[in-house]
Chain A
Amino acid sequence: MHILEERQRQVHRKGSEPFDLDCNKQSAAGSVSQRACVFCGSRVVLYPIADALHLVHGPIGCASYTWDIRGALSSGPQLHRNSFCTDLKELDVIQGGEKKLHKALTQLIVEHQPKAAFVYSTCIVGVIGDDVEAVCRQISAEQGIPVLPVHSEGFKGTKRDGYRAACEALLKLVGTGDPSGVSKASINILGDFNLAGEVWMIRKYYERMGLEVTATITGDGRVDDIRRAHGAALNLVQCSGSMMHLAKVMKDRYGIPFRKVSYFGIEDMSQALYDTAAHFAGVVPGIQERTVELVRGELQYILPEIAEYRKRLAGKKAAIYVGGAFKAFSLVRALRHLGMDTVMVGSQTGLKEDYEELRELCDEGAIIVDDSNPLELSSFLSERQVDLFIGGVKERPIAYKLGIGFCDHNHERKLALAGFEGMLNFAREVYGTVASPVWRLTPRGSAREAAPCR
Chain B
Amino acid sequence: MLLRHTSADVMERSALTINPAKTCQPIGAMYAALGVHNCLPHSHGSQGCCSYHRSTLTRHYKEPVMAATSSFTEGAAVFGGQANLLAAISNIFALYNPDVIAIHTTCLSETIGDDMVQVIAKAKSEGKVPEGKHVIHANTPSYVGSHVTGFANMTKALVKYFAETSGHRNRQVNILPGWVEPSDMRELRRLARVMGVHVNMYPDTSDVLDAPHTGEHEFFPRGGSTVAEIRHSGDAMSTLALGPFASEPAARALEEKCEVPAEVLDLPIGLLATDRFIDGLRHRAGVRVPAPITDDRGRLVDLISDMHQYFYRKRVALFGDPDQLAPLAEFLVTMDMRPVYIVTGTPGKRFETRIRDLVADAVPEVQVRQGAQADMFLLHQWIKREGVDLLIGNSYGKYIARDENIPFVRFGFPILDRVGHSYFPNVGYAGAMRLAEKILNAFMDRQDREAKEEAFELTM
- Could you say which of A123, A156, A402 contacts B215, with CB atoms under 8 Å apart? A402
- Could you say which of B48, B54, B95, B144 contacts A39, with CB atoms under 8 Å apart? B48
Cβ of B52 and Cβ of A444 under 8 Å apart? no
Task: Answer whether residue B284 sits at the interface, using C-beta atoms and an 8 A cutoff.
Answer: no
Residues of B near A37 (CB, < 8 A) are 46-49, 51
Residues of B near A89 (CB, < 8 A) are 143-144, 372
Which one, A103-111, A274-282, A303-311, is touching chain B?
A: A103-111
Residue of A nearest to B62 (CB): A397
Task: Answer whether residue B170 sits at the interface, using C-beta atoms and an 8 A cutoff.
Answer: no
Task: Answer whether residue A154 sits at the interface, using C-beta atoms and an 8 A cutoff.
Answer: yes
Which one, A63-71, A196-204, A244-252, A254-262, is touching chain B?
A: A63-71
- Could you say which of B23, B70, B95 contacts A4, with CB atoms under 8 Å apart? B95
Residue of A nearest to B66 (CB): A32
Task: Answer whether residue A2 sits at the interface, using C-beta atoms and an 8 A cutoff.
Answer: yes
Task: Answer whether residue B5 sits at the interface, using C-beta atoms and an 8 A cutoff.
Answer: yes
> Bound state CA distance, A374 and B63, in angstroms?
12
Cβ of A82 and Cβ of B5 under 8 Å apart? yes
Task: Answer whether residue A78 sits at the interface, using C-beta atoms and an 8 A cutoff.
Answer: yes
Residues of A near B63 (CB, < 8 A) are 397
Task: Answer whether residue B89 sits at the interface, using C-beta atoms and an 8 A cutoff.
Answer: yes
Residues of A near B108 (CB, < 8 A) are 123-124, 127, 154-155
Cβ of A29 and Cβ of B87 under 8 Å apart? yes
Bin the interface of chain B by size. Answer: 35 or more
Which one, B11-19, B175-183, B224-232, B234-242, is touching chain A?
A: B11-19
User: Which of A252-290 touch B at CB < 8 Å?
Assistant: none
Cβ of A104 and Cβ of B16 under 8 Å apart? yes
Residue of B nearest to A123 (CB): B108
Task: Answer whether residue A134 sits at the interface, using C-beta atoms and an 8 A cutoff.
Answer: no
Cβ of A158 and Cβ of B17 under 8 Å apart? no
Interface mask (B80-108 → A, CB under 8 Å = 1, otherwise 0): 00001101111110111000000000111
- Could you say which of B62, B71, B218 contacts A27, with CB atoms under 8 Å apart? B71
- Could you say which of B1, B59, B66, B92 contacts A393, with CB atoms under 8 Å apart? B59
Cβ of B56 and Cβ of A65 under 8 Å apart? yes
> Bound state CA distance, A73 and B22, in angstroms?
25
Cβ of B94 and Cβ of A397 under 8 Å apart? no
> Bound state CA distance, A27 and B111, in angstroms?
22
Cβ of B87 and Cβ of A67 under 8 Å apart? no
Interface mask (B133-157 → A, CB under 8 Å = 1, otherwise 0): 0000000011110100000000000
- Could you say which of A64, A108, A128, A378 contacts B24, with CB atoms under 8 Å apart? A64
User: Which of B42-64 touch A at CB < 8 Å?
Assistant: 42, 45-56, 58-59, 62-64
Residues of B near A375 (CB, < 8 A) are 95-96, 219
Task: Answer whether residue A30 sits at the interface, using C-beta atoms and an 8 A cutoff.
Answer: yes
User: Which of A153-182 touch B at CB < 8 Å?
Assistant: 153-158
Residues of A near B19 (CB, < 8 A) are 67, 82-83
Residue of B nearest to A85 (CB): B17
Q: How far is the CB of B129 from chain A (nearest CB, A)?
A: 13
- Could you say which of A27, A31, A81 contacts B95, with CB atoms under 8 Å apart? A31
Residue of B nearest to A126 (CB): B77
Query: What number of A residues sit within 8 Å (CB to CB) of B?
Result: 77
Residues of B near A123 (CB, < 8 A) are 45-46, 72, 77, 106-108, 111
Cβ of B219 and Cβ of A103 under 8 Å apart? no
> Bound state CA distance, A37 and B53, in angstroms?
13
> Bound state CA distance, A165 and B19, in angstroms?
25
Cβ of A87 and Cβ of B20 under 8 Å apart? yes
Q: How far is the CB of A189 from chain B (nearest CB, A)?
A: 24
Cβ of B88 and Cβ of A103 under 8 Å apart? no
Task: Answer whether residue A86 sits at the interface, using C-beta atoms and an 8 A cutoff.
Answer: yes
Cβ of A127 and Cβ of B68 under 8 Å apart? no
Residues of A near B372 (CB, < 8 A) are 87, 89
Residues of B near A401 (CB, < 8 A) are 64, 213-218
Residues of A near B77 (CB, < 8 A) are 123, 126-127, 153, 155
Task: Answer whether residue B439 sits at the interface, using C-beta atoms and an 8 A cutoff.
Answer: no
- Could you say which of B18, B49, B58, B377 contacts A61, with CB atoms under 8 Å apart? B49
User: Which of A1-32 touch B at CB < 8 Å?
Assistant: 2, 4, 26-32
- Could you say which of B11, B14, B143, B377 contacts A90, with CB atoms under 8 Å apart? B143
Residue of A nearest to B212 (CB): A401
User: Which of B1-42 touch A at CB < 8 Å?
Assistant: 1-5, 7, 11, 13-20, 22-27, 40, 42
> Bound state CA distance, A67 and B20, in angstroms?
9
Q: How far is the CB of B81 from chain A (nearest CB, A)?
A: 9
> Bound state CA distance, A398 and B64, in angstroms?
6
Q: How far is the CB of A175 from chain B (nearest CB, A)?
A: 29
Query: Mind listing 7 A-B residue pairs with CB under 8 Å?
Result: A37-B47, A37-B49, A79-B5, A123-B108, A154-B47, A393-B58, A443-B215
* Given A26-B73, A64-B22, A155-B77, 4 new contacts (CB under 8 A): A37-B46, A59-B143, A111-B5, A398-B64
